[in-house]
Structure 1
Amino acid sequence: MPTLTLASARSPFRDEFAEELAIRPLHSGDIHASFQFRTVWGVDLLQATDPRFLRYAILPREIVCTENLTPWKKLLPCGSKAGLAVLLKSEKLFHSSYFSQAVHIRPVCQGMHCTVPSWEMRQTLNVVFDLYTSGQGKREWSMFKIKIYVDVTDSPQGELFELSPPTPLLSQAVVLGDRRTYSVYDLTDPGTFGKVRSLNLLVRWKADNGDMLRPLLHGERYVAGFGLQTGEIHTLIYNNHPYRAFPVLLLETVPWYLRLYIHTLTVTSKNRENKPSYIHYQPSKDRLRPHLLEMLVQLPPNSVTEVTVQFERALLKWTEYPPDPNHGFYVGSSVLSALVPSLVAMDTNITQEHPLFSSFFLCKEESSYFMRVYTEPLLVNLPTPDFSMPYNVICLTCTVVAVGYGSFYNLLTRTFQVEEPSQSLAKRLANVIRRWRGVPQL
């Protein structure tokens, strides 16, 4: 598939910043855009803030809001005022077919001898735009005035798609263990622009559909069962390598209100039991910490490994339910970490010079590369009370207090006095006249 990449120059200072945008058109007609920002600080954080740090952090899904992107953009050196961050418009990103953002922090080395420690923060944002809902409705798109790398590995002779204008410049790079071929459009060459003095790269697909290539490692997760008492969590791990087996580290973080039956844990591959070589389980504490399950599983080649565990739904307090309890509760994603076999040996000595969309993870075995995959979050329904009944009870109680207690209190504190009936107007006038005349009043 063609991939477009925009890269900025590296900073010569000790603190470094790099940004990159990779655009890939999908067979369905959608556009996948991947933003990556990398910030390197020349400090040793372990000497200052505690040496214990969180290895993984997973946040469940939340309600889409334009303010969700603001804290993420504030981590950039210039926020959203310069660079590729000016393209991150909330109203455009949240109207897409898919949206995901993440922050990764890890220690890195400066220099070949690794004498100066540094920390790297990588911010990634992936979004899939639907061309048909955006009003274009055509299986083609174009980019103006941008430096691009077009991935033509799957279509070297133009079998799947057509590039216009063509370019004779080609470049090769290793991306996640696979050697890719790119058509390069150099903006420093005046011949690239032509007479119009602007570059309009057009990618037009020749076929209406095509087969989507699956990665060597990916995972899925879903909830099975019926009723609101018990259920099962199924995690499917796919190894699509035709002949290589490799281990994968699975991390499950389950909220406390899903009480796991860890004795029901089963791992199967090709309809056979697959016993993990390492299992670490930390039980949950109600309202304090979630379940933590970590295991190392060997994935056979060209197989699907299924991890199943049963759970029981707990009863929550009525104050612990979200504003929309009938929608369900989101459970964080599973994390898959593995050294995936590579088809091309990587040169780890020039890793810092590779573009951001290539692998930044150093490994001793050059025939593999590190990969971390997050499954989709789960939506689990819990036993939910009828919140209209407390509302009715509150209304009835307020009515009883206002009518019953109010009337009773009024009777206890009220004083009664007998007043004489007032005289008529004619009688009052007669008494005034009789008073003037000195006659006794009526």
Structure 2
Amino acid sequence: MAAALPLAVLVLLLLGPVGRGHAEPPRDTLREELVITPLPSGDVAATFQFRTRWDSDLQREEVSHYRLFPKALGQLISKYSLRELHLSFTQGFWRTRYWGPPFLQAPSGAELWVWFQDSVTDVDKSWKELSNVLSGIFCASLNFIDSTNTVTPTASFKPLGLANGTDHSFLRYAVLPREVVCTENLTPWKKLLPCSSKAGLSVLLKADRLFHTSYHSQAVHIRPVCRNARCTSISWELRQTLSVVYDAFVTAQGKKDWSLFRMFSRTLTEPCPLASESRVYVDITSYNQDNETLEVNPPPTTTYQDVTLGTRKTYAIYDLLDMAVINSSRNLNLQLKWKSPPENETPPAPFLHAQRYVSGYGLQNGVLNTLLYNTHPYRAFPVLLLDAVPWYLRLYVHTLTITSKGKESKPSYVHYQPAQDRLQPHLLEMLIQLPANSATKVSIQFERALLKWTEYTPDPNHGFYISPSVLSALVPSVVAAKPVDWEESPLFKTLRAPLSRQPRGGGRRPRKKLLSDGRAPSLTLSTRRLSFDQLYVSSHVSVSTCDVFCQKGSQRRTARAILCASTRSPCW
């Protein structure tokens, strides 16, 4: 009897809170969404976003149990004292002229930029270790990130989450333009999802279909956010985004019809049981349903209107948590059928975008040109331009020219960090004023350096890649949004608006925000190459010469041995 009493007390302690209904609610939530956008060119863009939000301060609390937030990433935040982490893998280039502005910008290859906490004493060491760990997590070549392709911007890449200060000495940025994205990178990315690829929107992530596209970009964004409107506590937010662009699906009648099954070879059967929200948005802005030019099947239950990327758009919403959306056969296959062929439309040009090219002739000198476009009819924009140029291009900074509307102008701010051979790249940051409805040309001359024969890539005739330029626009904004507006869809626009920590008792103040909103395409540059054929010819001649002499010596010894054997006399 005495032995049973402690056991009964233990059972009551374990079951008591549950019986009283005081069970602690989960501290993490998952929201997933898919935005399908028919592009003016006839292609179809699909953008996934999975947001995991954890109400925990990983920097101060000792966390041993993980529910939805990936343990591998949570341990990275704690071990390396991360403030923010942004990693993307992209194959192809977003064609702004034909597809319009993208939801999220990312350059070709792999891009990584990280903000560390102020408590980090050796940022370079933490940066190197972090890139090696991420290389193992995502099966990528991030271990090739070193001092030769890493820069520390002084004005670009402001924190997108909560920030007490902006000491850029704790910021690191690197790009690997040659990185190839494949299924080896997609598989670990999917394993970070709470439902993996078993349920919800993630069942559409079929590798053979995702990589059979014109554009593929997957990213991971980690940042701290406010837990409530007064920002009295911190939550950690993980956003996993994936964007693909499928070529136009043209039928025999010339109609550009599409469906989920045609794009992904799968349909939606159920939401992720761990998700609090699971929705599909279809852009129906440019469709004229009054004239019955198209048919959306099944018909949407609700619609959503908002200004996205500077354009007012209308979205059809399909909530997977609504049992009426998924029919009795547990199969949701969204289809859009045109009753008459649509007219080709010109996509709206974004206000700010950039292009890049190299001019000149020969393999010694050249000119690096960047075109900055401001298509706004009456408003000028100050723009931050960041260029990270490899060390083997000798930049002549005195030749820097900025021309707009036939007139030369000077930048308001310039930061230049010269390169060191085989140690660090060039870093050039400029604040340029772009007049309204103008094209501004930024050009600088360079000279190609000679490389050692061991420093050439396995395919030197293909050329060397130059990292893309980063275009950041300073846009004045009056921020008076309600907390509910921060969570608006599609794609949770809060990712595009940086948040600053405010006093606990006050709301958000009007201020300026910095939007890293553009990437110029990366370049492939031919350099002066060695005659690799001469190396092979020289080696072949040397080997052949040695072989001839060795054969002659062997023949002499053989003839002498035969002579001695025939005469039966000693050969000494």
TM-score normalised by length of structure 2: 0.62
1:99 pairs with 194, 216, 232, which one? 216
CA drift at 1:132? 4.6
1:149 pairs with 270, 274, 281, which one? 281
CA drift at 1:47? 6.9
Q: Measured at CA, do residues 49 and 77 of structure 1 come closer, stay the same or move farther in structure 2, by a change above 3 Å?
A: farther
One-letter identity of the residue aligned with 1:36: Q
Query: What residue in structure 2 maps to residue 375 of structure 1?
Result: 520
Q: Measured at CA, do residues 18 and 162 of structure 1 come closer, stay the same or move farther in structure 2, by a change above 3 Å?
A: same
2:296 pairs with 147, 160, 164, which one? 164
Matches within 5 A, 1:42-81: 42-44=57-59, 45=81, 46=117, 50=121, 52-63=169-180, 65-70=182-187, 72-73=189-190, 75-76=192-193, 80=197
Partners of 1:167 and 1:82 in 2: how far apart?
A: 22
Matches within 5 A, 1:9-408: 13-40=26-53, 42-44=57-59, 45=81, 46=117, 50=121, 52-63=169-180, 65-70=182-187, 72-73=189-190, 75-76=192-193, 80=197, 83-132=200-249, 138-143=255-260, 145=268, 147-155=279-287, 157-158=289-290, 162-165=294-297, 166-167=299-300, 169-185=302-318, 201-205=334-338, 206-340=341-475, 347=481, 349-355=483-489, 357-360=491-494, 361-362=497-498, 365=510, 370-405=515-550, 407-408=552-553
Partners of 2:320 and 2:32 in 1: how far apart?
A: 18
Q: Measured at CA, do residues 220 and 75 of structure 1 come closer, stay the same or move farther in structure 2, by a change above 3 Å?
A: farther
**Runs of 5+ in structure 2 lacking a partner?**
1-24, 60-80, 82-116, 124-168, 261-266, 270-278, 500-508
Q: Does the 8 A contact of 2:472 with 2:514 survive in 1? A: no
One-letter identity of the residue aligned with 2:415: H
Q: Measured at CA, do residues 94 and 183 of structure 1 come closer, stay the same or move farther in structure 2, by a change above 3 Å?
A: closer
Structure showing the higher strand proportion among its residues: 1
Name the SS of the counterpart of 1:56 in structure 2: strand
CA offset digits 1:8-42 (Å, max 9, x no partner): xxxx6444544332211122221111223334453
CA offset digits 1:202-256 (Å, max 9, x no partner): 3245424111112222211111111111111111222222222222211111111
Partners of 1:82 and 1:48 in 2: how far apart?
A: 40
CA offset digits 1:49-75 (Å, max 9, x no partner): 657543533221334543243454455
Partners of 1:167 and 1:37 in 2: how far apart?
A: 22
Give the aligned length.
410
CA offset digits 1:147-171 (Å, max 9, x no partner): 5333333346556952435457332
CA drift at 1:196? 8.3
Q: Does the 8 A contact of 2:34 with 2:281 survive in 1? A: no
Partners of 2:191 and 2:542 in 1: how far apart?
A: 49
Structure showing the higher helix proportion among its residues: 2
Partners of 2:512 and 2:291 in 1: how far apart?
A: 30
Q: Measured at CA, do residues 56 and 390 of structure 1 come closer, stay the same or move farther in structure 2, by a change above 3 Å?
A: same
Q: Percent same amino acid among aligned pairs? A: 51
Higher relative contact order (CA 8 A, sep 6+): 2
Q: Does the 8 A contact of 1:276 with 1:296 survive in 2? A: yes
Q: Measured at CA, do residues 367 and 402 of structure 1 come closer, stay the same or move farther in structure 2, by a change above 3 Å?
A: closer
Q: Measured at CA, do residues 318 and 202 of structure 1 come closer, stay the same or move farther in structure 2, by a change above 3 Å?
A: same
Name the SS of the counterpart of 2:175 in structure 1: coil
CA drift at 1:104? 3.6
Name the SS of the counterpart of 1:69 in structure 2: helix
Q: Measured at CA, do residues 409 and 104 of structure 1 come closer, stay the same or move farther in structure 2, by a change above 3 Å?
A: farther
CA drift at 1:191? 6.8
Q: Does the 8 A contact of 2:38 with 2:283 survive in 1? A: no
Q: Measured at CA, do residues 420 and 332 of structure 1 come closer, stay the same or move farther in structure 2, by a change above 3 Å?
A: closer
Q: Does the 8 A contact of 1:337 with 1:373 survive in 2? A: yes
Q: Measured at CA, do residues 185 and 412 of structure 1 come closer, stay the same or move farther in structure 2, by a change above 3 Å?
A: closer
Partners of 1:140 and 1:88 in 2: how far apart?
A: 21
Q: Does the 8 A contact of 1:175 with 1:358 survive in 2? A: no
**Runs of 5+ in structure 1 lacking a partner?**
1-11, 423-442
Larger Rg belongs to: 1
Q: Does the 8 A contact of 2:412 with 2:431 survive in 1? A: yes
Q: Does the 8 A contact of 2:35 with 2:283 survive in 1? A: no
TM-score normalised by length of structure 1: 0.79
Name the SS of the counterpart of 2:540 in structure 1: helix
Partners of 1:188 and 1:40 in 2: how far apart?
A: 19
CA drift at 1:189? 6.4
Q: Does the 8 A contact of 1:335 with 1:375 survive in 2? A: yes
Name the SS of the counterpart of 1:284 in structure 2: coil
Q: Does the 8 A contact of 1:240 with 1:301 survive in 2? A: yes
CA drift at 1:285? 0.9
Query: What residue in structure 1 maps to residue 131 of structure 2?
Result: none
Q: Measured at CA, do residues 299 and 102 of structure 1 come closer, stay the same or move farther in structure 2, by a change above 3 Å?
A: farther
Query: What residue in structure 2 maps to residue 8 of structure 1?
Result: none
CA drift at 1:327? 0.9
